[in-house]
Structure 1
């Protein structure tokens, strides 16, 4: 049997295909089309990664006849529309929060993020172009028991489906965005008429115009030009821990540059000529301290910046710097050091040029009660370090400072001068007198304590031995030698054996009169006259009579030797010690 096809069937087939295609396009349009938002809806705008105060979900429930909560809302944004669910009005106090992100990753996927996390990987789903920056897109959030679902534009299948025991406790919702992203929200549409929202704020309109394609992580330059960053520094406080070799500095940094991508006419935006930012909304140079083992991401504390309509950006912040310093304490406590601070940028060395706008200001430096005095501070600019792939644009500060000597002179040098004077004055005391040994012993104790204190104050491994330690050590050696000589001289005075003939012959010389006086003082503590000296000169016996006193000539000769040794050691101490200390 043969089936006959009507003649008009062939002509109907293209029409059927055309109608099917049109119907599919209409369905697709119904899924992605924007909704007309009535004027009686709540509206708000979020900008940057901040959340609004929370709204109670029960008050926003669109379907009170169904179990759980049904929240319908509309969004207009280029990407990153954020919702946060919490169990308490203050989201920060909520034990668990659930963050829903629509159009994350440059409007390529959507995600659900639980804090604290239960799994290492968040729930996400590819949703390309789910949001639009030119039209509103509608969504529905449903919380039913432990299940959370999100539907886009009345679609039959959810774009996100998340199940967790904490969903039951979620009672509050807040709205947010991402850095440099503005998101418009519309929700809680009621039958009662609500006044329309006022015109868009000029600041928000300005941000939406210039920040929609702005990248705060790349230098704002056009046509591959160079961005000049001017830096000025006002010193507030400097200190050097010479024992550990650590230099610290606190100062006020003033940084200026021109953002070529953010320039507007104030008359077109409500006469707004200046914008203040607390967060990284625009590009800002990231300074790092180089040549140290550990460095924070930035050395500046405040991240506030002022942006003017001509693109000029000014950033003023206090900064703390701590770095190593090579310490040479050879001249301690009159030492002088030059410390170096190496500050640079870890990115874009070919685009950014660091420049010191003026010499560092030292008029603001603290000057009272400080251990160190700054002599000079200079800078080197445009230093490139590293390989071609990891080059760093940097500048280096050279700070020269010297120690305030007055307190150290009082603490260290006065005991040294007093000890030296006591050691020299001990020669006027008779060798056999106990006070002489007591003075020298006291000096030895003081010098030992001073040497220990100096060792505590100085670095563990200095580059050179400090001069003051050499002086203290030499005085200590001299005091010990004096103690030995004084003890030996005291022993000589008490000898009764005959002295060598050379001593006897020299004792008869006329120029030995002063030594005779010393020997006489040693034995009698009285002045010797010329007649007495003549009697000693003519005496050959072991005993002689002087003014009715019996004098043992052997002891007298040893007393002469003792006074001669005293004179020699005194001259050596007084003249040779300064000579030995001079090259130190």
Structure 2
């Protein structure tokens, strides 16, 4: 029994040893195959490679045979060319896998030219999986493309005038990233050789300046040295939203500073004295807008930079800023507002200094539909409270205030001419109508109807004004107060109209008190308040009253009794007193 167990143990150990040995051999074989990897983004063949000897002289006797794998969501481009870096019009072979949103593939005789052949290949490549392919070309000019592990091609085309292919390159399409694995050769195969491009003086200068450039460190030789950054603002559009208390400024910022890492001798680079760079290629100051609204905290957008041989960097960028603005709407719509833009550095405040150019503020406003007129634009250096830089080790919690913020102050005046037609003239008309209602017939219905109409109009205007303007916490616009005052006067006039109407429509047995009658009968009161002294009507049943029409137009109608006469006089007197009170309110 023991012998049986020993035999089983030896058999198992021997089997495991064979598995490990075979795995080691397989691993060593995979390690022997060396592959190259390249990543591409967007369209453009930027790097060319010379065909390896195994690709140009395959064992099957073809003219060309190459293998590769690609991982991209669509539009994988392979360029086969007789020369490195061919021109747009030079004859080449361009193979596209997964074109048309990964639905078809084609072969072209020139770059982005007409398709020679096409094949429906739904989801032939993947953005999450590396997939292998091969390209073969025989001596008759037959170009074939197939999947790795399959002998039959899924697409092929024969060129009657075949090209001698020596170079290849990869790329994808706009917004598409690709990972390429190619030239998986063994140790005894030299593989594809990268083509060294011919460098111009500009290429050599960029290579000399940017190869070891650190964009995150300040470009100074001494760490304690301060960088002076000169700035200029050119405003071309300004809009102020009173409802949100936000000022929007469209402007061009210009910054200048010296970069010690960007100094070169023009004699060493064919006299090149100016170098244009993209904004992210060298160090940039971290300039922020302290009173910004929304996500646009940095006023600096992507733009090209101009660098001279002495190290001076000039950066002009278009910006769209939104800042908070504390509004004073007391004199609305004839108001003048003062808004500011506070620019400074978020960090490294001791090592950076923001300085205004001699003519650092310019106004070149475009003719737009903005209702604001810029009276002046000032710039000054102010102290800014920055609690995020306070000393955390101190117990007093004092804030760090350093005068490094540059403030641009805009003084804006509202173009209020249009408001005269919309708001001023209507309120004047309503004031005149309100005063005229006191002179209407006390017995007529027009008086009450006019006042009710004015109440509706004033309420509608106030609601529309309230919806178009914010509600200030400590003040109200002057025009609001005028509308509210007129609304109060019309309300009082309506109340007086109701009282006067009741005084004249009710039949009275007794006249008013004696002292009121004496006041109403006074010649002075009658002349001041334009009171007429009516006479009691004498009934005449035999003749038609010819003066009936004229008497009906009188402000104080004739009465049938002495008591009603005096009460009517009192009603008219109340109207006159209310008129003068409203007039001098």
| Residue of structure 1 equivalent to 2:516 | 503
1:207 aligns with 2:219: no
Cα distance in 2 for residues equivalent to 1:520 and 1:167 = 121
CA contact (8 A) 1:520 1:526 kept: no
Give the structure 1 partner of residue 450 of structure 2.
439
Tell me by how many angstroms 1:234 deviates: 0.9
Q: Distance in 1 between matches of 2:502 and 2:475?
A: 41
Alpha-carbon separation, structure 1, partners of 2:413 and 2:497: 42
Deviation track 1:364-404 (CA, whole Å, cap 9, x = no partner) reads 02356421122232223375634167989542222221211
> CA separation in 2, counterparts of 1:205 and 1:218?
23
Q: Which residue of 2 aligns with 1:402?
A: 413
Matched residue SS, 1:260: strand
Contact persistence 1:277–1:306 (CA under 8 A): yes
Tell me which residue corresponds to 2:353. 353
Q: Secondary structure at the match of 1:285?
A: coil
CA spacing shift, 1:409–1:462, aligned 2, 3 Å: farther
1:99-114 mapped onto 2 (5 Å cutoff): none
Q: How many residues align?
A: 426
Tell me the secondary structure at the aligned position of residue 235 of structure 1.
strand
Report the TM-score when normalising by structure 1.
Answer: 0.63
Q: Tell me by how many angstroms 1:287 deviates.
A: 2.6
Q: Which consecutive unaligned segments of at least 5 residues does structure 2 have?
A: 1-37, 79-95, 103-124, 134-146, 156-167, 173-182, 393-399, 538-547, 552-556
For residues 162-241 of structure 1, the aligned pairs below 5 Å read 173-174=169-170, 200-224=199-223, 225-241=225-241
Q: C-alpha offsets along residues 138-172 of structure 1, whole Å, 9 cap, x if unaligned?
A: xxxxx9969xxxxxxxxxxxxxxxxxx99999x98
**Deviation digits for residues 81-108 of structure 1, max 9, x if unmatched?**
xx98767207997889xxxxxxxxxxxx
Query: Contact conserved, 1:367 with 1:373, CA < 8 A, in 2?
Result: no
TM-score for both structures, normalised by structure 2:
0.62
What SS does the corresponding residue of 2:427 show, helix, strand or coil?
Answer: helix
Q: Which residue of 1 aligns with 2:503?
A: 492
* Structure 1, gaps ≥5 residues long: 1-45, 72-82, 97-113, 119-142, 147-164, 177-186, 528-545, 578-584
CA deviation after TM superposition for structure 1 residue 279, in Å: 4.5
| Distance verdict in 2 for CA 1:351–1:49, change over 3 Å | farther
CA distance 1:227–1:335, change in 2 (3 Å): same
Partner residue, 1:21: none
Question: Aligned partners of 2:313, 2:293: CA distance in 1, in Å?
Answer: 32
Report the CA distance shift for 1:561/1:331 in structure 2 as closer, same or farther (over 3 A).
same
1:322 CA displacement: 0.8
Aligned residue in 1 for 2:307: 307
Which residue pairs with 2:568 in the alignment? 559
Q: Tell me the equivalent position of 2:463.
A: 452
The residue number in structure 2 matching 1:285 is 285
Q: Which moved more, 1:417-426 or 1:496-505?
A: 496-505
Residue number in structure 2 paired with 1:62: 54
| Contact residue 296 and residue 322 of structure 2 kept, 8 A | no
How much has 1:236 moved relative to structure 2?
0.6
Residue 479 (structure 2) pairs with residue 480 (structure 1): no
Farther off after superposition, 296-305 or 213-222: 296-305
| Residue 573 to residue 503, structure 1, CA distance change in 2 (3 Å) | same
Cα separation, 2, equivalents of 1:292 and 1:166: 56
Counterparts in 2 of 1:326 and 1:461: CA distance versus 1, 3 Å? same
Residue 430 of structure 1 deviates from its aligned partner by 1.8
How far does residue 230 in structure 1 lie from its aligned partner after superposition? Answer: 0.8
Query: 1:3-49 CA deviation, whole Å, 9 max, x = no partner?
Result: xxxxxxxxxxxxxxxxxxxxxxxxxxxxxxxxxxxxxxxxxxx9x99
Worse-superposed segment, 425-434 or 358-367:
358-367
Asked if structure 1 preserves the Cα contact closer than 8 Å seen for 2:332 and 2:477, the reply is yes
Distance 1:372 1:447, change over 3 A: same
Say if 2:372 and 2:415, in contact at 8 Å, map to a contact too: yes
Q: Deviations over 1:51-89 (max 9, x none)?
A: 851789996573534999579xxxxxxxxxxx9876720
CA distance in 1, matches of 2:536, 2:367: 57
Distance (whole Å) between structure 1 residues aligned to residue 524 and residue 364 of structure 2: 69
Q: CA deviation at 1:497?
A: 2.2
Does the CA contact (< 8 Å) of 1:516 and 1:560 recur in 2? no
Contact 1:355 1:382 in 2 (8 A): no
How far apart are residue 305 of structure 1 and its match? 0.5
